[in-house]
Structure 1
Amino acid sequence: MDTKALIAAYYDAFNAGRTDEMLTYLHDQIEHHVNEGGIRRGKEKFAEFNAHMTRSYRETLTDIVIFANEAGDRAAAEFVVNGTYLATDEGLPEARGQTYVLPAGTFFSIRDGKIARVTTYYNLADWMRQVGA
């Protein structure tokens, strides 16, 4: 599978809520760089993050544009997050079913045909404003 197809499959699984399938696209030594947060290493930590996100948010990504370098070892995606805040996330405002539309992007490193790094960026201040912080 080429890099763009790999990233597309990863996001198709995300949009369909198939977080277990997302793990199949990840390298065993995945590094997940969280927006304004730390680095989670390994598939188990990534799965824990997905479970947490599924409890707190319902999100669909639209307007996805995927870019990849010629070597296929680096990629990026730009998209719009269309979400609903379902359950209060620690340290964030109270969830009351607020909806949000948020531009975002992710950078990827690819190794051995799998995603080895996921680094996601979005404007947290914009999200806070949209959920009424």
Structure 2
Amino acid sequence: MSVAETLDLIRSYYAAFNRGDAEGMLALLADDVVHEPSQGAPRKGKALFAEFLAHMNRCYAEQVLDPQVMANGDGSHASAEFMLDGRYLESDEGLPAAKGQTYHLRVGAFFEITDGKIGRVSNHYNLADWIKQVQAG
């Protein structure tokens, strides 16, 4: 893929995210996608990623703000940095109780591109900051 195509792919991924369009996000992923969350074990495959998205959409309402997307010279890898505005809707296991708290986090994401699809997505954020924000309510 060209750099421009990779950048468009990642921007499309976040546009689908902001629309709450899980099917649109899944359409951009390789069948054997590897998802590496900031916390927890990696998961492999679209089915597990779809389960993750359903869980996230139940517990959180989030919007990606002003993603800065970059790609390497051959378009095989990309990254994004953005602010994430969210609202905590339903308590998530092992985390503070949800009461509709809002939060604002800086997030970094890294991608591998395989045959025109996202083959790996790795997200990173400061969980301690998120917990502090939701506990402050």
* Shorter-chain TM-score range: over 0.9
Q: Residue deviations 1:88-114, cap 9 Å, x none?
A: 000000000000000001000001000
1:85 to 79, 82, 88: 88
* Cα separation, 1, equivalents of 2:116 and 2:78: 12
Correspondence 1:53 to 2:56: yes
1:64 to 64, 67, 71: 67
Structure 1 runs, 4 residues or longer, greater than 4 Å off = none
Quote how far apart the aligned CAs of 1:37 are.
Answer: 1.1
Q: How many pairs align?
A: 133
Q: Show the 5 A alignment for 1:28-47.
A: 28-47=31-50
**Structure 1 gaps, min length 5:** none
* Cα separation, 1, equivalents of 2:74 and 2:31: 21
Letter in 1 for 2:65: T
TM score, norm. by length of structure 1: 0.98
SS in 2 for 1:70: coil
**Structure 2 gaps, min length 5:** none
Quote how far apart the aligned CAs of 1:36 are.
Answer: 2.0
Higher helix share: 2
* Cα separation, 2, equivalents of 1:50 and 1:99: 19
What corresponds to 2:17 in structure 1?
Answer: 14
* Cα separation, 2, equivalents of 1:108 and 1:37: 18
TM score, norm. by length of structure 2: 0.95
What corresponds to 1:105 in structure 2?
Answer: 108
Cα RMSD (Å) of the superposition?
1.0
Correspondence 1:125 to 2:117: no
